[in-house]
A and B are shown apart, each in its own frame.
Chain A
């Protein structure tokens, strides 16, 4: 599914990712943990094609396609989805309209028929239920005036609707209350399938109680310095990052 090899990226002259390797197979859920500023969001942004980062080495392929040859929208149409750590507000742009345009852009690129308003509404109703979202949010502008938690839930709702191959969830759990966390996790679990892979970036082991990862990685100083099973997350929760990061340095 996703194959990242020796990825190096910098912002300006500042190298941030310094040789990152990651293999994600279909159906797998990988958790990425790591200290603040270690490059987790940078990794997510570089994969999805945000401007302002320079890839200085390595490669990233999604189903054999070189991601770095593609525009951000082409990557999205290929099935890459990023749930933003900080979802962006689009004042004046109706949420429903936005979602329909996005879905149809993706469907069109897959050679599928565009959905008409009725089938789209039906699909939305179905997905809303999964996330226990109030449909009044759909009538509002995208993320505009949404609470922090609503924004995060809206991201997962979009993921449910767009049905990506590979979803990267960047700290989707932060800012969620206990019930919302549960709902989002249930939503994510409902979307797990043998064809769909996920990369879950989080600071908290708690999320991984709900979303059981196949692999856990520690990203520090721009590289993955340790990988393990879900027990690694528990160990991190207990001991923090110091021991690995220092161990690495030593």
Chain B
């Protein structure tokens, strides 16, 4: 608790220096926005001046600046969450630079300076050398093909009337749409990391699918790798208007490196009447070396709002990276007959810790939700599944099916399950199944006696274990996810 007054004091002191930032802002506009961000980074620290600077540099409307400031003021009063069963050293929020240029200078100069283990993984995934550089944070000058691909995609989307752009662009081009929806699913006061994100986010994606439109392609951030590195504080907002459909893929299977340890993203999904959003994540943040050093802390808040009747939101995630993951993609089933789904595979090995799960909040009538969570722990991996299913008093005829399976590899890993159920309407139908299994010596020997290597055997058993979740992923993503899982569990046995 003592950290809060200290932060507040720091903030007050810094407010007085605002003038200095104003100069920076003005200087920035002289040279043009793009070159400016490439050459300059705000000094570490956070106060209202920093937030105004960020907002001004992004050319945001006044209401957005105020929204950020309000979020910041609330954030100062919030305690850091400590209840998740993960352990990490306290983060000094004043030591972070909240507006940093692409890290051309700080990153490794060439692939020679990159962790060889990381490079080996890229090789195995068959990632082209230029993309390897981008992923590893090496300065890249060459432009990939993927950028031109992205342009073609954009034109196709434009024809369909689908908006797919960066959140910053959206704030300039479609401010009324953003204003109408941002923060309506995840309010800035939701939790500590959301508060921080709302105040300082600089990157992210905006999607709007108009009425009765089926988005003509899977929206993927994969091909955006070169355009924008995953930011530390990303903000994603996806709105599916009445009767529309969109499938969005986030992340990529290659381990992404980033010298920002803390990642606090916010993702908001809104599905209006008869709309459907499918959100798939394959995330493979750098987990750190074998001691967990240098790994990413991934504290992300993802929530979908089935705002309209008969709407559907489906989360599918495959998580193998990060030193620490803390996330609970959730659905608010507000519309009558709306449907929420959560399919998850999470892998923890080495010193990784994950605390994940979902929340299904049933508010409308005849709403239904499905939760399938598959956790795999190897070596010293620690994993907790935390699931909340809440059936409100008015949610007549609600149904939930939860299945929560853990697979342990070796005897030093652990998995914990915390299901929370709150039922305020007696008509609810709830089903819960949980299993814990272990890859046994017998199973491994059986496979080996048939000519398979131990690694083949593990990946076969693991893929079998995860099948229900992989089935939910778009085809090419599923194949990559399988491959990724095998690679990430290599050497995890024995």
- Do B449 and A82 have beta carbons less than 8 Å apart? yes
For B450, give the chain A residue with the smallest CB separation: A102
- Do A72 and B464 have beta carbons less than 8 Å apart? no
- Do B446 and A90 have beta carbons less than 8 Å apart? yes
For B464, give the chain A residue with the smallest CB separation: A92
A61, B465: Cα distance in complex, Å: 38
User: Which of A93-101, A218-226, A239-247 participates in binding chain B?
Assistant: A93-101
A102, B451: Cα distance in complex, Å: 6
- Do A105 and B442 have beta carbons less than 8 Å apart? no
* A73 and B464 in contact, given A51-B441, A88-B442, A90-B443 (Cβ under 8 angstroms): no
Query: What residues of B have a CB within 8 angstroms of the CB of A75 in the complex?
Result: 449
Query: What residues of A have a CB within 8 angstroms of the CB of B456 in the complex?
Result: 101, 105
Q: Is A106 an interface residue (CB 8 A)?
A: yes
Most chain A C-beta atoms within 10 Å of own C-beta, residue among B442, B451, B465: B451
Measured CB to CB, the residues of B under 8 A from A are 437, 440-443, 445-454, 456, 460-461, 463-465, 467
Q: Is A205 an interface residue (CB 8 A)?
A: no
For A79, give the chain B residue with the smallest CB separation: B451
A85, B454: Cα distance in complex, Å: 21
What distance in Å separates the Cβ of A155 from its nearest Cβ neighbour in chain B? 10
Query: What residues of A have a CB within 8 angstroms of the CB of B461 in the complex?
Result: 90, 92-93
In the complex, the 10 A-B pairs of residues with the closest C-beta atoms, listed nearest first = A92-B464, A88-B446, A72-B448, A76-B451, A102-B450, A93-B464, A105-B451, A106-B451, A73-B448, A88-B442
A88, B449: Cα distance in complex, Å: 11
- Do A88 and B450 have beta carbons less than 8 Å apart? no
Q: Is A50 an interface residue (CB 8 A)?
A: yes
* A76 and B460 in contact, given A51-B441, A88-B443, A90-B443 (Cβ under 8 angstroms): no
Query: What residues of B have a CB within 8 angstroms of the CB of A158 in the complex?
Result: 450
CB<8 Å pairs between A and B, sample of 16: A48-B449, A51-B445, A73-B448, A73-B454, A75-B449, A76-B448, A76-B450, A81-B449, A90-B446, A92-B465, A93-B464, A98-B450, A101-B460, A105-B456, A109-B451, A162-B450
Query: What residues of B have a CB within 8 angstroms of the CB of A93 in the complex?
Result: 460-461, 463-464
Besides A90-B443, A90-B461, A93-B464, 18 new A-B residue pairs in contact (Cβ under 8 A), listed by A number: A49-B449, A50-B445, A51-B441, A71-B448, A73-B448, A73-B453, A81-B449, A88-B440, A88-B442, A88-B445, A90-B447, A91-B437, A93-B460, A97-B460, A98-B450, A98-B460, A102-B447, A162-B451
Query: What residues of B have a CB within 8 angstroms of the CB of A102 in the complex?
Result: 447, 450-452
What distance in Å separates the Cβ of A122 from its nearest Cβ neighbour in chain B? 20
For B439, give the chain A residue with the smallest CB separation: A90
Q: Which of B446, B452, B465 contacts A101 (CB 8 A)?
A: B452
- Do B445 and A72 have beta carbons less than 8 Å apart? yes
Q: Is A87 an interface residue (CB 8 A)?
A: yes
For A44, give the chain B residue with the smallest CB separation: B449
A50, B440: Cα distance in complex, Å: 13
What distance in Å separates the Cβ of B393 from its nearest Cβ neighbour in chain A? 39
Most chain B C-beta atoms within 10 Å of own C-beta, residue among A49, A92, A101, A102: A92
Q: Is A149 an interface residue (CB 8 A)?
A: no
A49, B465: Cα distance in complex, Å: 26
What distance in Å separates the Cβ of A89 from its nearest Cβ neighbour in chain B? 8
Q: Is A77 an interface residue (CB 8 A)?
A: yes
For A76, give the chain B residue with the smallest CB separation: B451
Size of A's binding interface in residues, CB under 8 A: 33
For A86, give the chain B residue with the smallest CB separation: B442
- Do B446 and A49 have beta carbons less than 8 Å apart? no
Query: What residues of A have a CB within 8 angstroms of the CB of B454 in the complex?
Result: 73
Most chain B C-beta atoms within 10 Å of own C-beta, residue among A71, A76, A88: A88
A141, B447: Cα distance in complex, Å: 13
Query: What residues of A have a CB within 8 angstroms of the CB of B446 in the complex?
Result: 84, 87-88, 90
For B442, give the chain A residue with the smallest CB separation: A88
What distance in Å separates the Cβ of B197 from its nearest Cβ neighbour in chain A? 37
A50, B456: Cα distance in complex, Å: 17
What distance in Å separates the Cβ of A76 from its nearest Cβ neighbour in chain B? 4
- Do B449 and A77 have beta carbons less than 8 Å apart? no
For A80, give the chain B residue with the smallest CB separation: B449
What distance in Å separates the Cβ of B3 from its nearest Cβ neighbour in chain A? 46
Query: What residues of B have a CB within 8 angstroms of the CB of A97 in the complex?
Result: 460
Query: What residues of A have a CB within 8 angstroms of the CB of B441 in the complex?
Result: 51-52
What distance in Å separates the Cβ of A78 from its nearest Cβ neighbour in chain B? 9
A91, B442: Cα distance in complex, Å: 13
A101, B457: Cα distance in complex, Å: 10
What distance in Å separates the Cβ of B122 from its nearest Cβ neighbour in chain A? 25
What distance in Å separates the Cβ of B350 from its nearest Cβ neighbour in chain A? 24
A77, B456: Cα distance in complex, Å: 14
Query: What residues of B have a CB within 8 angstroms of the CB of A49 in the complex?
Result: 448-449
Q: Which of A72, A94, A101, A141 contacts B449 (CB 8 A)?
A: A72
One digit per residue, 1 when the CB lies within 8 angstroms of any chain B CB and 0 when it does not, for chain A 18-57 equals: 0000000000000000000000000000001111100000
A48, B465: Cα distance in complex, Å: 27
Query: What residues of A have a CB within 8 angstroms of the CB of B465 in the complex?
Result: 91-92
One digit per residue, 1 when the CB lies within 8 angstroms of any chain B CB and 0 when it does not, for chain A 164-191 equals: 0000000000000000000000000000
What distance in Å separates the Cβ of A72 from its nearest Cβ neighbour in chain B? 4
For A74, give the chain B residue with the smallest CB separation: B451
Q: Which of A50, A77, A89, A94 contacts B451 (CB 8 A)?
A: A77
A49, B461: Cα distance in complex, Å: 21
Query: What residues of A have a CB within 8 angstroms of the CB of B447 in the complex?
Result: 90, 98, 102
- Do B448 and A94 have beta carbons less than 8 Å apart? no
What distance in Å separates the Cβ of A102 from its nearest Cβ neighbour in chain B? 4
* A105 and B464 in contact, given A51-B441, A51-B445 (Cβ under 8 angstroms): no
Query: What residues of B have a CB within 8 angstroms of the CB of A82 in the complex?
Result: 449
- Do A141 and B464 have beta carbons less than 8 Å apart? yes
Query: What residues of A have a CB within 8 angstroms of the CB of B451 in the complex?
Result: 73, 76-77, 102-103, 105-106, 109, 162
